[in-house]
Structure 1
Amino acid sequence: MVHKRRSFPFKCCWLLAIFIALRQGTLSQEFCEKNTQDENCKEQFLYSKDDVKVLTVATDENHGLERFLRSAKVNGIDVEVLGRGTKWTGGDMNLPGGGQKINLLKEKLKDLSKSGANDKIILFTDSYDVLFLASIDDILKKFQSFPETRVLFAAEQFCWPDTKLASQYPNTEIANPYLNSGGFIGYLPEIHEIVNYKPVSDKDDDQLYYTKIYLDKKLRETLKIKLDHNSAIFQNLNGALSDVQLKSNTTTETWPYIENVVTKQRPLIVHGNGPSKLTLNHFGNYLAKAWSATEGCALCNEKRIELKEDKLPTVMMAVFIEQATPFLEEFLDQVLTTDYPKEKIHLLLRNNVEYHETEVDDFFQAHAKDYATAKRIKPSDFISESEARNIAKDRCINSACDYLFSIDSLSRLEANTLRHLLSSGYDVIAPLLVRPGLAWSNFWGAVNSAGFYARSSDYMDIVYQNIKGVWNVPFITNCYLAKMSVFRLPATKSVTYTRDGIDPDMAFCASLREVGVYMHVSNELDFGHLVNPETYDISRTNPDMYQLFDNKMEWTTRYLHEDYHLNFDEERKHLMPCPDVYWFPLMSKRFCSEWIEIMEAFGQWSDGSNNDKRLESGYEAVPTRDIHMNQVGLEKHWLHILKEFVRPLQEMVFTGYYHNPPVSVMNFVVRYRPDEQPSLRPHHDSSTYTINLALNTPNVDFEGGGCRFIRYNCSVRDTKLGWLLMHPGRLTHYHEGLLVTKGTRYIMISFVDP
């Protein structure tokens, strides 16, 4: 009796536990694994992944379907695609429509029923805007945790397409109260009955069809239809973007996942319904084992292809010069030195800037014959930018061209960029290009509701290469590669650069988004950068000279002396032609000639008298024929040269003297001529140290000249083009300018730290 009295409450508690579990919605997996013979557990273990049939509808082969099928594959899911290759007659899915999906599913379920597969579980999802995030086992376990449920539909926050039906829903106070037809799972007999409830035309709305069945209380209860209000399986993104967080940098998970922070669920299928497709594209960069912090870009590795030299694709290189461009000469050299056989390149060179026309024409005449074909579009052709870009695209589509490689003159590329993009395996891909030191790049991470720039959460990480890979983005510009087979499909015939109210690149990318063609940007390598044209003023003489601040990389490459870096070679002895007078290579030959051209074009040389209105005092004790840098708009540029390039030299040879930035209120170019001012009397400079930069060459451009340091009776006569003399100013280095007997001598002078 004692034993029975003890066992009775134990059995009661056990039965009560089952009862409570059933009332709350599910028996735990752990409980059923230990009690497999329990009647309430048997059904849960009658089904396995082999009993689930996964179906979708997709009539077109596109990037969305490709991504969907990959997400299924990496999660071990076998999907049957219905309607593949057939004509879509279900209307525009941005509007009510989609009844064709029901009719295709109806035919498939009819076949399954005939084959005696009534014990199957059916999982149906949309395809182009859906990703699987878990295995069938996980999805099945989650579905079977829903109590008394034979069919489970996805749920969302909006009642669509008929908002008037919202009041008929049983409970609109909960999260995601409304049915969404983009995903559902259930037992074959019930789903078969749902799709055969009444006839539906291909153009009818599938979501409205399922909604009316759900709102029929008798049908809902008879067929045991439920909605996944908490997104335990199906996560619809539209209206829930603030609820869903991407978890990409976790210490406990190898691969990124999403979490609904409101319902505390980790969804297993995500659907970018309605206007949330771009967010799904963003998530798709990470989800379904596409990228992780530890594994890197797995998707990149899957897609990469090997280029074979004997079977290289044919490329149309379309070059666009749409605005006055700094350092265009270097851009054209880059086009020429692209690492790709020119016989495999069809060149289309479009220039729309009259200022550049002579330079561009010279380039074309010299090199057009090297390419498979070459075509020019000139400013005089009066063709708009959008029309020119469409010409390039259509010319490539209608020829044997495999790829279009579009390059704007603002792009500065490494020679291997084209090859890398071709080997990436992506259909439309841009190399990441950024203005040096800025976050301005050639892609947008997101777009706002008006179609303009918005910053994605990972934009800065991509720009600064904190994360590396290939990223699905909504907008690319300046430089990109496009596979032409994609643009020869019927669905992409509408892609164009022409659209009222927006520029050609925005029109192009918007039309790509509309037809579901994904754009990508790669930051796997350092592909180059963008030049900044915002302050480029072609009204100036030699306008590139003024680009030191906005395009410093190009500026220093062109204008700094090629041997400047050798000044810091510890094994190299510094040249000292006179005591404490040092000689350094500083500026290039081109800098010197263009500097002189700027001064002569300005032409307002001082008269060489002691009266000088340019000075605050109005008096110059030791006058020269000169032009001050502030007269030609180069004062701040020259002061920057002193700070960045001269100061390190001074600190190296005049040990212990540090002054940063250097101060110089007198920066000027002096001109010596036999018939003007041929020499300069002995004097001290009002400086701590002075620099004297030779802008032209003795015995070539002039005869005579030089500098004599009187205290040491030491003269520097054979000055070197682009080299500076650096010497102390006050007290010790009393000096004079030696007589120029022929030609014109130009020197650049600064009195540093007066």
Structure 2
Amino acid sequence: MEYRKLLVLFCFSWTHFISNVQTSGSNQQPILAEKLLVLTVATQETDGYLRFMQSANYFNYSVMVLGMGEEWRGGDVGRSIGGGQKVRLLKQAMEGLANEEDLVVLSVDSYDLIFAGGPDEILRKFQESNHKVLFSAEGLIWPDKRLQDKYPPVRSGKRYLNSGGVIGYAPYVNKIVEQWNLHDNDDDQLFYTKIYLDHQQRASLNMSLDHKCQIFQNLNGAIDEVLLKFGTERVRVRNTVFDTLPVVVHGNANTKIYLNYLGNYIPNAWNYERGCSVCNHNMVDLSQLEKYPSVLVGVFIQQPTPFLSEFLQRLLTLDYPKDQLKLFIHNNEVYHERHMQKFWEENKDIFSSFKVVGPEENLSQGEARNMGMDLCRQDPSCDYYFSIDADVMLTNKQTLKILMEQNRKIIAPLVTRHGKLWSNFWGALSLDGYYARSEDYIDIVQSKRVGLWNIPYMAHIYLVKGEVLRNELQERNHFVLEKLDPDMALSRHARELTNHREKDSPNPESFHMLRVPKGIFMFITNRHEFGRLISTANFNTSHYNSDLWQIFENPVDWKEKYIHTNYTHIFTENYLEQPCPDVFWFPVFTERACDELVEEMEHFGSWSGGQHQDKRITGGYETVPTDDIHMKQIGYEKEWLHFIREFISPVTLKVFSGYYTKGYAVMNFVVKYTPGRQAYLRPHHDSSTFTINVALNNKGTDFQGGGCRFHRYNCSIESPRKGWSFMHPGRLTHLHEGLPTTNGTRYIAVSFIDP
């Protein structure tokens, strides 16, 4: 009976105690925001630090920065133990704050941390915890796994301490850090862990961990439980396991790349309602400068690349003073020597300087890119280094100015491959450092999200400030790293840390290496259309004019180079003529297309001679032969038929209403008319439903005479236009003849369509 009374009394007392604990926080007066002081350690103003301060300023945190300008001696905390220097600096700062009983101190890292909420929220959550000191928590134990069993058990939540975030009343935080008597390169997390695991200290200092990420979200081991939560004013991070909205987001260990991704949105960088809110921050107005910055343009031709001449011409059309451009070109391909020679001869005096390194130097890609970057690094007058690969078709003439105005250390314009999701950046990295697709990658590539994006990898085209090359990236050889291609090597060097020998070491034999935080942010912008990436795959250089074969791999560039600029006017402005009944005349080829097709045929050289006996056709006999070369002979029939389907069939539907062509032809050839071999063609019908006849050179300059006469209508077309095509019915109605070529050589391309 007595036992039962004692049990009831105990249960009542325990319930009353729990009730008091649960309600004590709500009975307290809220802590005012001005009573919160943020303490952080930063020895350099890295990109990560500037981002941290930007988020802190957005929420009006009061921040005290410790150690700025001091040499970092805390080791490489991203890779191994270290960070004791942070505790020493915090200890020194807390000596003057130890008696501020109502002051709440928030000690956090800065290089890899972002605020997602404001002081009022963090103070409310701290007060609700009913503890004097609260450390951030994580699911992985570091640095001593042997201490795992000494941690208090946790029914739900993160069990292990993380030193990247701690909040507490100033006197209590001071009692913790005043115990520090170790070295700068000793481990700060181990120091805090041992104090926390001491049961007596944990109780006397009323310490606990933020087990359910109410305040602190450490990303290490927790990426899968974190999602972005978009709001109208700002973006939050939501922990889906505990359904909490952490205030402090920490990219500890190897999660900094994921933090950069989150930082593209939180707290106010981008959301669906406003788009990019920070894109115009710290921009440079080039119009206010006395003269434009000096730029070294590094061009890299690493493999056979289609449309190289067009690429080189686009460099000339950049809207930028040429006297402020220096050009360095590395050409690794013998095939492109003739293109480079022509470009050099025509433009060597246009740029401030022009240096070409050819395939005879036998440089690797990494060595060549190091050479180009070094030219800027070693030149104090070089303000920017602009690297561009030959597979970038840059269509925006303002690209250089746009990138400069964004005022970032390293920035790339978004370029994509036509019709593909292939681009010049990665949104994320896999565990082994290669491509991984970020949640927002497709939206960025398709410009559904437009802004300025912090990325882990870039390639093909980017702009780097010269001062960055002479400071953060002053070490050479950034493009060479074992097992990585040059762009991956540069991106890793920019993202990660680098060793520096300790300066002024009293004993050179016993110097140690200092791990200096670099962490340069690389950005890509899709705020404008910049151009596209062309495909270099399957580029066969065995032809004289190999670009002609690129109609499948690079259809946009093929059309831009070879299809007449007025072709689309056929459909928008009815830009075609009818010189004879049912004979339609319209522009289809550029002069370049005509020239290259003629060159290709002459390079092949096996003209038929206009003989009746012809093994190339079914039956082996041609009734009305021409002196010609078939498209099939030069391996161009598949490409030519695609041209017919893409560019001739739409015209057919317009002029022969109701007729739907199959776009198929057996006879596709280039005819050569010369007075000495075959000057004309006698009257005949074509074995086709309709025929196209494209003039490939100019009357009056390349030849005299020529033309076509249609007998039924006694109608002749005697002045064909280069690049224009006739289209006329083939059978029954349009008996026609080729009029004599009296001088020079006339070329035409003919197809008998739908035989």
What TM-score do the two structures reach when normalised by structure 2?
Answer: 0.91
Per-residue deviation, residues 65-99 of structure 1 (Å, max 9, x unmatched): 00011010001112111011000111111211111
Q: 1:529 aligns with which of 508, 529, 532?
A: 532
The answer (yes or no) to whether the contact 1:313–1:402 under 8 Å persists in 2 is yes
Range that drifts further, 595-604 or 538-547: 595-604
- The 2-side partners of 1:99 and 1:352 are apart by 50
Q: 1:487 to 1:111 in 2, by over 3 A?
A: farther
- The 1-side partners of 2:703 and 2:472 are apart by 70
Q: Does 1:280 align with 2:280?
A: no
Q: Tell me, what secondary structure is at the counterpart of 2:547?
A: helix
Shift in Å, 1:651: 2.1
1:477-492 equivalence runs, <5 A: 477-489=459-471
Range that drifts further, 278-287 or 603-612: 603-612
The answer (yes or no) to whether the contact 2:589–2:724 under 8 Å persists in 1 is yes
Range that drifts further, 735-744 or 322-331: 735-744
Aligned residue in 2 for 1:294: 273
Aligned residue in 1 for 2:699: 698
- The 2-side partners of 1:352 and 1:162 are apart by 51
Q: 1:367 to 1:81 in 2, by over 3 A?
A: same
Q: 1:676 to 1:265 in 2, by over 3 A?
A: same
Shift in Å, 1:741: 4.1
Alignment gaps of 5+ in structure 2: 1-12, 497-517
Q: Tell me, what secondary structure is at the counterpart of 2:174?
A: helix
1:575-654 equivalence runs, <5 A: 575-606=577-608, 608-654=610-656
Q: 1:639 to 1:26 in 2, by over 3 A?
A: farther
Q: 1:163 aligns with which of 135, 142, 145?
A: 145
Range that drifts further, 152-161 or 397-406: 397-406
- The 2-side partners of 1:370 and 1:274 are apart by 50
Aligned residue in 2 for 1:315: 295
Aligned residue in 1 for 2:369: 389
The answer (yes or no) to whether the contact 2:695–2:722 under 8 Å persists in 1 is yes
Q: 1:343 aligns with which of 309, 319, 323?
A: 323
Cα RMSD (Å):
2.2
Q: What is the letter of the counterpart of residue 558 of structure 1?
A: K
Alignment gaps of 5+ in structure 1: 1-14, 33-40
Q: What is the letter of the counterpart of residue 331 of structure 1?
A: F
Q: What is the letter of the counterpart of residue 512 of structure 1?
A: A
- The 2-side partners of 1:464 and 1:356 are apart by 33
Q: 1:490 to 1:511 in 2, by over 3 A?
A: closer
Shift in Å, 1:159: 0.5
Per-residue deviation, residues 595-641 of structure 1 (Å, max 9, x unmatched): 11111222233354444443344444433332222222222222222
Shift in Å, 1:365: 4.1
Aligned residue in 2 for 1:59: 43
- The 2-side partners of 1:51 and 1:492 are apart by 43
Q: 1:441 to 1:733 in 2, by over 3 A?
A: same
Q: Tell me, what secondary structure is at the counterpart of 1:176?
A: coil
Aligned residue in 2 for 1:7: none
- The 2-side partners of 1:342 and 1:717 are apart by 46
Aligned residue in 2 for 1:72: 56
1:512-591 equivalence runs, <5 A: 512-514=494-496, 515-568=518-571, 570=573, 574-591=576-593
The answer (yes or no) to whether the contact 2:494–2:520 under 8 Å persists in 1 is yes
1:655-666 equivalence runs, <5 A: 655-659=657-661, 661-666=662-667
Shift in Å, 1:20: 5.4
Aligned residue in 2 for 1:330: 310
Per-residue deviation, residues 360-415 of structure 1 (Å, max 9, x unmatched): 23333443433333333222233332222222222222222121111111122211
Q: 1:617 to 1:240 in 2, by over 3 A?
A: farther
- The 1-side partners of 2:477 and 2:722 are apart by 55
Range that drifts further, 73-82 or 163-172: 163-172
- The 2-side partners of 1:364 and 1:21 are apart by 85
1:86-97 equivalence runs, <5 A: 86-93=70-77, 94-97=79-82
Q: Tell me, what secondary structure is at the counterpart of 1:264?
A: coil
Aligned residue in 2 for 1:22: 20
Q: 1:232 to 1:679 in 2, by over 3 A?
A: same
Q: Does 1:667 align with 2:668?
A: yes
Aligned residue in 1 for 2:444: 462
Q: Does 1:98 align with 2:80?
A: no
1:473-512 equivalence runs, <5 A: 473-489=455-471, 493=475, 496-512=478-494
What TM-score do the two structures reach when normalised by structure 1?
Answer: 0.91
Q: 2:342 aligns with which of 362, 379, 385?
A: 362
Aligned residues: 718
Aligned residue in 1 for 2:679: 678
Aligned residue in 1 for 2:501: none
Q: What is the letter of the counterpart of residue 267 of structure 1?
A: P
Shift in Å, 1:128: 0.5
Q: Does 1:258 align with 2:237?
A: yes
- The 1-side partners of 2:619 and 2:155 are apart by 81
- The 1-side partners of 2:348 and 2:698 are apart by 37
Q: Tell me, what secondary structure is at the counterpart of 2:37?
A: strand
Q: Does 1:146 align with 2:125?
A: no
Per-residue deviation, residues 283-322 of structure 1 (Å, max 9, x unmatched): 0000021111122211112232211241432222222222
1:31-46 equivalence runs, <5 A: 32=26, 41-42=27-28, 44-45=29-30
Q: What is the letter of the counterpart of residue 258 of structure 2?
A: T
Q: Does 1:212 align with 2:191?
A: no
Aligned residue in 2 for 1:373: 353
Aligned residue in 2 for 1:736: 737
Q: Tell me, what secondary structure is at the counterpart of 1:145?
A: helix
The answer (yes or no) to whether the contact 1:494–1:511 under 8 Å persists in 2 is no
Q: Tell me, what secondary structure is at the counterpart of 1:725?
A: strand
- The 2-side partners of 1:436 and 1:241 are apart by 33
Q: Tell me, what secondary structure is at the counterpart of 1:286?
A: coil
Q: What is the letter of the counterpart of residue 91 of structure 2?
A: K
Range that drifts further, 193-202 or 368-377: 368-377
Shift in Å, 1:145: 0.5
Q: 1:141 to 1:647 in 2, by over 3 A?
A: same
